Amino acid sequence: MAPSSQSRPRRAPRVHYAEDDSDSLSLSEFESRPQPLRAARRRVQTYRESSSIDDNTVEASSADSDSLSEEILPQEGTRSRPKVRERASSRPQKRWQRKAPTAKRSAPSPFNAFKRQKTRSSDVVHKPEPQVSVLIPPPPSGRIPPWQQLPYHILVNIMKYAAYPLYASNSRPNSSINWLCSVSTLCRSFHETCMAALLYNPPLYPAWRAHGLIHLLKQEPGTLIIDYRRKIHYLDVEVKQLLFKKSGISIEDLVPNTPLLQGLRLYSNFDDMRTMVWAQPTARKIHWSYPAELFDLLDANNLILTSFEWNGRFPGPIEVLQAAVHAHSRPAFSRLREASFLNLTIPEKSGDVDVAKARTLFGDALNQLSELKHLSLNNCGILDEATVPMLPVGLEHLEIDNCSQLTSAALGRYLRVGGSTLTTLKLLDNQSMSLGFIADLKTLCPRLRTIDVDMLYIDPTSYRDRDPLYDELLPNGPPTWPSSLINVSFENMRQLSADDADDFFESLVESSRHIPHLKRLNIKAILKGASWRDRAHLRKIWLPKLQNVFLNTSRPYEYAVKAGNQSARSSHRQSSRIAESLKRQSTGDDTGDSDAGVAVAVHGRCDVVNLQISDQRPAQDQFHEDDFLDDEPSDDEEWNGRDMELTSNGYAW
**Identity (one letter) of the amino acid at 567?**
S
The pLDDT of 618-627, averaged and rounded, is 64
Could you tell me the pLDDT band of residue 603, with boundaries at 50, 70 and 90? confident
Question: What pLDDT sits at residue 71?
Answer: 41
The pLDDT of 56-85, averaged and rounded, is 43
Q: With beta carbons less than 8 A apart as the criterion, state whether 421 and 395 touch.
A: yes
Could you tell me the pLDDT band of residue 204, with boundaries at 50, 70 and 90? very high
Question: What pLDDT sits at residue 617?
Answer: 62
Q: With beta carbons less than 8 A apart as the criterion, state whether 521 and 481 touch.
A: no
The pLDDT of 230-239, averaged and rounded, is 96
| pLDDT tens figures, 392-409 | 999 999 999 999 999 999
Q: With beta carbons less than 8 A apart as the criterion, state whether 268 and 240 touch.
A: yes
Question: What pLDDT sits at residue 452?
Answer: 98
End-to-end CA, the chain: 49
Tell whether the model's pLDDT for residue 652 goes beyond 90: no
| pLDDT tens figures, 499-518 | 999 999 999 999 999 999 99
Fold of the domain built from segment(s) 383-555+598-618: 3.80.10
Q: Give the whole-angstrom CA distance, residue 108 versus residue 114.
A: 12
b/e burial code for range 368-404 (CB count within 10 A of at least 16 → b): bbeebbbbbbbbbbbbbeebbebbbeebebbbbbbbb
Residues 530, 536, 541, 547: what is their CA dihedral angle, to the nearest 10 degrees?
A: 110
Q: Give the whole-angstrom CA distance, residue 444 versus residue 436.
A: 12
Closest CA to 421 of 401, 398, 438: 398
Q: Give the whole-angstrom CA distance, residue 249 versus residue 207.
A: 7
Closest CA to 49 of 4, 10, 87: 10
DSSP code of 409? H
Residues 639, 643, 644, 650: what is their CA dihedral angle, to the nearest 10 degrees?
A: 130
Q: Give the whole-angstrom CA distance, residue 507 versus residue 497.
A: 15
- Indicate the domain borders of the chain: 1-123, 383-555+598-618
Q: Give the whole-angstrom CA distance, residue 313 versus residue 284.
A: 6
DSSP, residue by residue, 176-208:
HHHHHHHHTTS-HHHHHHHHHHHHSS----SHH
Q: 186 or 464: whose pLDDT is higher?
A: 186
Q: 133 or 237: whose pLDDT is higher?
A: 237
Rounded to the nearest integer, the mean pLDDT of the chain is: 77
- How many Cβ atoms sit within 10 Å of the Cβ of residue 546? 21
Q: Give the whole-angstrom CA distance, residue 575 versus residue 568.
A: 11
CA distances from 292 to 54, 70, 261, 386, 441 (A): 76, 83, 18, 30, 43
**Identity (one letter) of the amino acid at 113?**
A
Closest CA to 451 of 413, 405, 411: 411
Q: What is the pTM of this model?
A: 0.70
